[in-house]
Amino acid sequence: MIIGIDIGNTTVEIGFIHDIEKISSYRLKTDHARTSDDWFLDLNQIFSLEGRPQIDRCLISSVVPIVEDRIAEGFLRLTGEKPLFIGKDVAVPIKNNYSRPEEVGIDRLVNSFAVSRKYGFPAIVVDFGTAITFDVVNEKGEYEGGAIFPGIDASISALFSKTARLPSVNLKNVKAVVGKTTADSIRSGIYFGYISLVEGMVERINREAGYRHKLVLTGGSGKVLCEGLSIPHIYDRYLSMEGIYMIFRELQGY
């Protein structure tokens, strides 16, 4: 079994990966103020919940350098194993067609590689995280590029910070496009607005490429939104962890 650690701007996901079909994970807040001792205590508690399993390796995918070193220190102290950093110690085995390849977040490459291996290509990966990223794998299985939008939580926070007396809302069970209350109108705008964003962007990417792509969604808000999509799609909760596992298998020569 391997440990996959996906360090994002909002959350850190710690995955216990037995194989591609058997994954469990825990999420912690990405807190820049936390020390390696803090992360050690959290990791120790999580390992206890998992029965302190025997591990083969730990791979870290990170877009937050200030946090990644502290987590790695905590993990080394807990297990005696030094984690490998994807993008530094281990390359993502996908051709990167970005004009400046070093600018692409490792998380985007990991997701793209996972989709190309699990679902085939051409494909579009939409990850609903702190930002919403669209990543395109072309007909050759290469990373072509993508688009980045503000995430749902960021949009909601911006709305409420700039507008007085608006009620807080959640996106569950949004049915009508035309809201009859302020809260319903906000829910509709966010929910159907982002659905339209996904559908419109996918159509534009398909048209620009000249062929259609498979659509795979992942990330926290993806599950809620995908229920309203009118285009064929797949929701994959553990896509990032699957990508980390596949990179480990490549490293082992499988």
Q: Does pTM top 0.85 for this prediction? A: yes
Find the helix or strand (DSSP H, E) in which 54 lies.
none
In the chain (254 residues long), the average pLDDT of successive 10-residue segments reads: 95 95 95 96 96 93 95 96 95 97 96 97 95 96 96 79 64 83 86 94 98 95 85 96 96 80
Q: Which pLDDT tens digit goes with each residue over 132-170?
A: 999 999 999 999 999 999 888 877 777 776 665 666 666
Q: Which pLDDT tens digit goes with each residue over 195-209?
A: 999 999 999 999 999
Rg of the chain over Cα atoms, rounded to whole angstroms, equals 19
Helices (H) and strands (E) in the chain, counts: 7, 10
DSSP codes joined into one string, 208-250 = HHTS--EEEEEETTHHHHHTT--S--EE-TTHHHHHHHHHHHH
Residue 32: per-residue pLDDT? 94
Active site residue 127: no
Q: Give the tokens for residue 167.
A: 């009620």
Is residue 209 packed enough to be buried (19+ CB in 10 Å), middle (13-18) or exposed (0-12)? middle
**Other Cβ atoms closer than 10 A to 103:** 8
Domain boundaries, the chain: 2-89, 101-245
| Multiple choice CATH, 101-245, 3.90.580.10, 3.50.50.60, 2.40.50.140, 3.30.420.40 | 3.30.420.40
Q: Nearest 5°: phi and psi at 22? A: -130, 95
DSSP 140: T
Active-site residue among 42, 107, 127, 135?
A: 107
Helices (H), 133-228: 152-162, 182-209, 222-226
Q: Give the tokens for residue 81.
A: 């194993």
Q: Which pLDDT tens digit goes with each residue over 180-190?
A: 888 888 889 98
Edge to edge, what strands does the sheet with 123-128 contain?
Answer: 143-150, 131-137, 123-128, 214-219, 234-235
Identical fold at 2-89 and 101-245? yes
Find the helix or strand (DSSP H, E) in which 221 lies.
none
What number does CATH give the domain 2-89? Answer: 3.30.420.40
